[in-house]
Amino acid sequence: MIEIRSAEVRDAERILRYCKIVGSETDNLLFGSEGLNISVESERIILSNIASREKNIMLVAIDDDEVVGIGNIGGNMRERISHQARLAISIRQSHWGQGIGSNMMQALIDFAKSEAIEIITLEVYRDNEPAIKLYKKFGFEEIGYFKNFSKVNGVYKDAILMNLYL
């Protein structure tokens, strides 16, 4: 049984291990097999900060005491843009197709609504068709295009900008 819950400070080491694994499985993230390249203590501080801020949440999907998915909403504290937040989500390749992404997306959207967030925004690589399909399933709309968004192994990758209007 896979549990989706708020990340806790005690998850720091597992999250960093997860990031190295998932980063080695796909080029669709902003990091590779090096993971986040931060210390466990730094990750604990980040998790503590996320938990203490309004309009911010990090969720973890746990299977057999290991992190197999992460999703987060990062809200804005500045008044003029406090109605919007940024979303990111990733799932271990071994757990694709099991509904974890959909369950996590729904939990993140429910959280955003509860925090009076009106717009969720994200970037997704143009060639990441499974992710684009997931986002569209939840009502995200393509609003733009970011040429040369990132560089993976010396090759530029373009991104689609998407918004969900709640």
Q: Enumerate the β-bridge partners of residue 3.
A: 62
For residue 69, the tally of other CB atoms under 10 A from its CB is: 24
**Nearest-angstrom CA–CA distance, 72 and 83:** 16
* Sequence spans of domains, the chain: 3-165
Domain 3-165 CATH assignment equals 3.40.50.1370: no
- pLDDT, one tens digit per residue, over 1-20 is 899 999 999 999 999 999 99
Closest of 119, 164, 124 to residue 146, by C-alpha: 124
Q: In what order do the strands lie in the sheet with 66-75?
A: 3-6, 56-63, 66-75, 84-91, 119-125, 155-165, 141-152
| pTM (whole model) above 0.75 | yes
Amino acid at 68: V
- pLDDT, one tens digit per residue, over 69-90 is 999 999 988 999 999 999 999 9
